[in-house]
Structure 1
Amino acid sequence: MEFRRLGRSGLKVSAISYGNWLTHGSQVEEDAAHACVKAALDAGITTFDTADVYANTKAEAVLGRALKGQRRESLEIFTKVYWPTGPGGPNDRGLGRKHIMESATASLKRLGTDYLDLYQAHRYDRKVPLEETMLAFSDLVRQGKVLYVGVSEWNAEQITQGAALARELRVPLISNQPQYSMLWRVIEEQVVPAAEHEGISQIVWSPIAQGVLTGKYQPGAQPPAGSRATDESGGKNMISRWLADDVLTAVRSLKPLADEAGLSMAQLAVAWVLQNPNVASAIIGASRPEQVAENVKAAGVTLDADLLAKIDAVLDGVIERDPALTVTP
């Protein structure tokens, strides 16, 4: 496993991290979730990412039980706050002080730990003063409940404003967690330069575009039974944007390039995002342990410039680059 420094901080994370969105507490049974976490640990993954909203808090609880008995100092445990949890009361969402402080306490309990290595604002909250949000994060840091702070899907302007306030409050703001893949490159034009300037790294999600970049979805064919594209509980909606025939046809043309590099298509996709020097870690999910074992082989792989150019040529016309598509509720 390769390890990379997160932002300008002293924290090192595994280049491939394990995330349990859309899996733990919902898509897979708990024993399967535990098996996937064990496979991640066996593969050298030390960084685990979750969020309180995943399966309405169940995913955190499953991850906490799966990691029970592991040496806490050898792990980096990340979670997030913003989206509604619990019964959905007026203060059960957002980045107001009350929700942040209560959510952090609840996440710690579910994860079975005294502190979080990284606590992330899951989205930017336009309805709460940024000063209130950052002050709550700074208090959690000073209380020892949180070591570092991050954000998720913030645009360049929001990252710049947050970083300025973080410096003023002496908050260690070190990361952003955006969607990023060969197909979805909206962070490259604005977010990455802003983050680099502020000493912030990317921890990217969906590096294989919800499974589309594995090549298992074929143009003109029905999605495989049991795949994410058939999951009515949430996966189907997320993957639908990639199931157009022109996208799937272009993705199919990546297979010879993956073969040339001696990689599976999934490994090629994960290795591709890790070529970006501002990416500290790529989050993979899994419903089976063998998926973890396969994808982790992308760590430490270098793709040469010629191969990267061929990938761009194959996908030309289906790549999304518009920076305005960064998620900002």
Structure 2
Amino acid sequence: MEIRNLGASGLKISAIAYGNWLTHGSQVEEESATACVRQALGEGITTFDTADVYANTRAESVLGRALRGERREGLEIFTKVYWPTGPGAHNDHGLSRKHIMESINGSLTRLGTDYVDLYQAHRYDYETPLEETMEAFADVVHSGKALYIGVSEWRAEQIREAHALARELHVPLVSNQPQYNMLWRVIEAEVVPTCRDLGIGQIVWSPIAQGALTGKYRPGEQPPPGSRATDDKGGASMIQDWLRDDILERVQRLRPLADEAGLTLAQLAVAWVLQNDNVSAAIIGASRPEQVTENARAAGVRLDEDVLRAIDEITGPVVERDPAKTRSPRTRSFSRE
């Protein structure tokens, strides 16, 4: 497993991180979830990403039990705060001081740990002053409940402003967690240059576009039985936008490139993400241990420049690049992610 620094910080993490969004506590039974975590550890993955909102806190509990007994110093455990948890009352979401302080305590209890390595703002909160949010995060760090802080799906100007406050408060803002893959490149124009300048690394989610880049979905055909596109617990709605025939046709045209490189399409997709020098890690999810193994093998793979150019030529017409696509809800009148 390749090990990288998280941004310009001294924290070292595995280039492949294991995440449990849409799986633990909902789509996947706990026995299977635990098997996937054990497989991740066997592949050398030491970085685990979750959030309090995943399965309405159940995902954190499942991950905590799956990691029980492991040497804590050898793991990097990340979680997030912002989206509604519990019954979703008026203070059960957002980045207010109240919600952050209550949420970190709940996350630590569920994860069975005294601290998390990285505590992330899951979205930008337009209804709370940024100063209040950053001061609360600073107190979380200074109390020893988190070692570093990060954000997720924040725009470049929001990241820059938060970083300036973090410097004043003497806390390390070291990461951003955006969606990023061959088809979704909205961070490249503004977020990545800003983060390079500030020493912030990307921990990217959906490197295989919810499975669309695996090649299992073919244009003009029904999704395979048992695939995410047939899941009625949330998976189908998340992948639906990627299942257009024009996208799926382009994905199939990537197959010869993967074959020539000795990779599966999924491995090609993950390796492509890791080529970006501002990416510290790619988050993979899994419902079966063999999926963990397949994706983990992309760590350390270097794609030749001609392969990268060919990928750009094939995917170009269907790539989304608009920086405005990175956005957070303007009000708290939203449904659970």
Common fold, TM-score beyond 0.5?
A: yes
Aligned partner of 1:315: which letter?
Answer: T
Higher alpha-carbon deviation: 228-237 or 155-164: 228-237
Distance in structure 1 (CA, Å) of the matches to 2:8 and 2:63: 28
Runs of 4+ in 1 over 2 A off after TM superposition: none
Q: Residues 3-14 of structure 1 correspond to what in structure 2 (within 5 A)? A: 3-14=3-14
The structural deviation recorded for 1:8 is: 1.5
Aligned partner of 2:209: which letter?
Answer: A
Aligned partner of 1:290: which letter?
Answer: E
Q: Does 1:325 align with 2:325?
A: yes
Give the RMSD, CA atoms, in angstroms.
Answer: 0.5
The structural deviation recorded for 1:232 is: 2.1
Distance in structure 2 (CA, Å) of the matches to 1:322 and 1:233: 29
Structure 1 equivalent of residue 263 of structure 2 = 263
For each residue in 1:222-257, what CA deviation from the matched residue of structure 2 results, as whole angstroms up to 9, or x when unmatched? 111111111222111111111110000000000000
| TM-score of the pair, normalised by structure 1 | 0.99
Structure 1 equivalent of residue 335 of structure 2 = none
The structural deviation recorded for 1:22 is: 0.2
Structure 2 equivalent of residue 78 of structure 1 = 78
Aligned partner of 1:122: which letter?
Answer: H
The answer for unaligned runs of 5 or more in structure 2 is 330-337
Distance in structure 1 (CA, Å) of the matches to 2:122 and 2:232: 23
Structure 2 equivalent of residue 308 of structure 1 = 308
Distance in structure 1 (CA, Å) of the matches to 2:231 and 2:286: 15
Aligned partner of 1:84: which letter?
Answer: P
Structure 1 equivalent of residue 15 of structure 2 = 15
The structural deviation recorded for 1:88 is: 0.8
For each residue in 1:142-182, what CA deviation from the matched residue of structure 2 results, as whole angstroms up to 9, or x when unmatched? 10000000000001010011101111111110000000000
Structure 2 equivalent of residue 241 of structure 1 = 241
Distance in structure 1 (CA, Å) of the matches to 2:261 and 2:205: 23
Structure 1 equivalent of residue 334 of structure 2 = none
Aligned partner of 1:5: which letter?
Answer: N
Structure 2 equivalent of residue 159 of structure 1 = 159
Q: Residues 5-84 of structure 1 correspond to what in structure 2 (within 5 A)? A: 5-84=5-84
The structural deviation recorded for 1:217 is: 0.3
Q: Residues 146-295 of structure 1 correspond to what in structure 2 (within 5 A)? A: 146-295=146-295
Q: Does 1:94 align with 2:115?
A: no
- SS of 1:317's equivalent in the other structure is helix
Distance in structure 1 (CA, Å) of the matches to 2:234 and 2:327: 17
- SS of 1:39's equivalent in the other structure is helix
Distance in structure 2 (CA, Å) of the matches to 1:199 and 1:102: 29
% same residue = 72
- SS of 1:80's equivalent in the other structure is strand
- SS of 1:280's equivalent in the other structure is strand
Q: How many residues are paired up?
A: 329
